[in-house]
Chain A
Amino acid sequence: MTRAIAILVLMFLPLPIVIVVLSSFTSAGYLSFPIKGLSLRWYAEFLGSANWLSVMGTSALLALIGALVSTAASLAAAWAVVRHRIRFGTAWETLLLTPLIFPHAAIGVIMIVTLAGLGWLGTFAGLVLVHCILTVPYAYRPVAAALRKADPALEEAAASLGARPWRTFWLVSLPAVRPGLVTSLLFSFIISFDEVTVTLFLVGPFVMTLPVQVFSEVLESASPVIAAVSATLVLFTSAMVFILDRVIGIQFFVERD
């Protein structure tokens, strides 16, 4: 019985994705399932639209910069907490994770006020800042776990062999935490690339992200181009995870020591 339930749940999890992907191949002029006839016209419309492509470019760039910045910041924070054992280390760690706890709607409102104060509302830089804050909780844990697992004696060995701190960092510390770094980059990229709720408060006429664009399209029309966009995103993220796992290896379920 429980087994049957488990199987049903497991089948249900990817079901919406399957439906979206299938309905993107419809030949009808509206979103429907099951589909009427097979066609690639909605992919043609998506990839032929300057607007969709530019929005996708913005999202990719935003996610890339956000992932790099929040992973670098997470590494620095984890270094201070794990290696230098700064005072109140666990309190700082908890603080970094707070974006997970606060409701995104509340964060959105706070960020409108903050970015308006900075004069960054509706700008790309403003989105980068907010996406960094939102992705840090996902970036911090893998990199901190990798650093906890890395042997500090490796760094001492490098120093005793005459390597200055930067050289030790590049040649010894960084390779030791590489799987954690890749996981951090990947998760923060995906979180940022997918983010709707908070971003919705902050986009404007000059900057728009792909998931927010999809959301507003859904409100306005039920064009199957949305399904084509979504299917492309599914393919894109899966491919990224698969390739990174093959090439570098991802620590999916990172344990703390």
Chain B
Amino acid sequence: MPDAGHDQAILQIDDVIKAFDGTHAVDRVNLEVKQGEFVTLLGPSGCGKSTLLRMIAGFETPTSGRILMRGRDMSRDPAYAREIGMVFQNLALFPHMNVYDNVAFGLRARKRTRDLDRRTREMIAMVGLEGFEDRRTGQISGGQRQRVALARSLVTAPDLLLLDEPLSALDLKLRRQLQGELKRIQRETGITFIFVTHDQEEALSMSDRIAVMNAGRVEQYGSAVEVYHRPRTEFVARFVGETNFLRGSVSVVSGDRAALDLDGTDTRIAIPAGAEARHCGTRLAVSIRPEHVRLGAVDELMVPATIRSHSFSGSTITYELDSRAGPLLAQVPFQPGKGHPLAPGMAVSAGWQDDAITLIPA
């Protein structure tokens, strides 16, 4: 496909609200998705991500706001009139049809019968199910059912494919494998994917952009790296990965440096004085990822701490610390031959570099 219009928004969500019995399941959401992007809606259950997806598919109508495809308002179009494919959480394969007829359904429904057989077999081959055409959907494995659902939704070459937690029922190993396959298929077909999940690891590894949702709103919309390393709200910092979240008030501002007095302690930490920390007295929080916390000998680094416990996960060791700044998590690479992990009760010090700090207005 030529690159022309590659940056054009294929889908635009404009101030969309969905109210159920007076509460806003989706609350003033604005999003735009570019042609060919892999976008993930990430959030805990009940955050509105599935409702938003169902409005894009046409199964729910927005209470207010607009949903535009290529600039045309389609908020009130029936689902069958939209060129949007969907993979359902429970897959919703037609139980009375075999694999072939499930995949061919969309072509028959849209009366594209000329190259029906070729196209159907092509899709079955793309998901690696040759030889299973005549099987009933009850006679194949969970992973294979997943592939049928994917092939069925892609056979009509939709403008947009919606995926509603399609991998959540699978075990970890199969899930990883299918994640890779989804990415491959998305690259090969060039179709724009909108993927819903509550699994932040899945979101980080697959997406071009992630919309982190909470209580019906989009808290942050950005690349995986931005969402992880520059969370804009406390919710994002805590939901995407683990973090050390420290609150306080700005007490000193001097040039490009500032100091933050942490709540509930007598500890003061140094922070860069950005736009967030320009005045004394400003309430701020800092988020520091555990893998950016360094450990040193007593007094070597900024914050005195004692080791409370550790957990080993192969490549890294995560320490829980009691520190002057409160409880902290520090994740350090495990180096073979460098002896045992630090023992509980040991006195150490913890520190971090300026660029590990994300300032969040509190």
Contacts and interface: CB of A to CB of B under 8 A. Distances in A.
Interface of A: 151, 153-154, 156-165, 167-168, 171-172, 175-176, 178
Interface in B184-202: none
B79 A154 contact: no
B166 to A, nearest CB: 12
Contact of A163 (B59, B85, B96, B105): B105
A35 B68 CA distance: 83
A161 B109 contact: yes
Contact of A176 (B58, B78, B88, B96): B96
A172 B96 CA distance: 8
B324 to A, nearest CB: 54
Given A162-B156, A167-B109, 20 more contacts: A151-B92, A154-B94, A156-B59, A156-B86, A156-B88, A157-B86, A157-B88, A157-B93, A161-B85, A161-B109, A163-B80, A163-B105, A163-B109, A164-B109, A165-B80, A168-B80, A171-B105, A172-B94, A175-B94, A175-B96
Contacts of A175: 94, 96
A161 B153 contact: yes
**Main DSSP-derived SS at the A contact region:** helix
A165 to B, nearest CB: 8
Interface string B64-104: 00000000000000111010111010101111100000000
A123 to B, nearest CB: 41
Contacts of A159: 58-59, 78-80
A176 B95 contact: yes
A157 to B, nearest CB: 4
Nearest to B162: A160
B109 A158 contact: yes
Nearest to A150: B95
A247 to B, nearest CB: 15
15 contacts: A154-B94, A156-B86, A156-B92, A157-B88, A158-B109, A160-B79, A160-B80, A160-B82, A160-B86, A161-B105, A161-B110, A162-B106, A162-B109, A176-B96, A178-B96
Contacts of B10: none
B147 interface: no
A178 B153 CA distance: 25
B289 interface: no
**Main DSSP-derived SS at the B contact region:** loop
Interface in B16-53: none
Contacts of B152: 157, 161
B204 interface: no
B329 interface: no
A168 B78 CA distance: 13
B328 interface: no
A156 B57 contact: yes
A178 to B, nearest CB: 8
Nearest to B105: A161
A176 B86 CA distance: 20
Contacts of A161: 80, 85, 105-106, 109-110, 152-153, 156
B102 to A, nearest CB: 9
A211 B213 CA distance: 67
Contacts of B96: 175-176, 178
A239 to B, nearest CB: 26
Contacts of B94: 154, 157-158, 172, 175
Contacts of A153: 88, 90, 92
Contacts of A178: 96
Nearest to A163: B109
A39 to B, nearest CB: 50
Interface in B251-271: none
Nearest to B161: A160
Interface string B147-158: 000001100100
Interface in B130-173: 152-153, 156
A156 B90 contact: no
